[in-house]
Amino acid sequence: MLPDDWTPHRRDDGELLGWIRPDGEDWVAVDVLGRAASDPVDWLDAEAALEAVGLAWLADVWMLEGEAPAPLRVRFVEVTPSTGDAPGRVVVKVDDFGDMQRPPTERFTLPWPAPEHLRAARPGDPDGRTL
């Protein structure tokens, strides 16, 4: 469940970019995965951090560790924060490289906030083209 003291922050078109939560006298930006997107800063800097991050990163390849011998390349299917008493979830699928002709790839449903074993791709991660 989202804490009551988290304030949603939206783009001008109404799309949710994340939340701003209190941290002592400061504020922390929190992205849609429920992860800190800034250090403790003033309110305007927390807003700026969410604006700078945006949502485009949701289209990037991510890595899911611990489900196979090597990290899996995955793409987001769904990110649903907790609401009320309903738990949130993050659904990812093994990267299919946009190939609509291949059978559906395996999906993984993770808790929200997203666990640490779901991470952004780094140099040296499997690229999906090398066997």
Q: What is the pLDDT of residue 101?
A: 77
pLDDT number for residue 130: 60
Residues of the chain with pLDDT under 50: none
Q: Could you tell me the pTM of the whole model? A: 0.87
- pLDDT tens digits along 18-32: 999 999 999 999 999
Q: Concatenate the DSSP letters of all residues of 18-44 into one string.
A: EEEEEETTEEEEEETTS-B-S-SB-HH
Sign of CA dihedral 13, 19, 22, 23: negative
pLDDT in the model for residue 36: 97
Q: What angle do CA 93, 75, 48 make, to 5 degrees?
A: 145
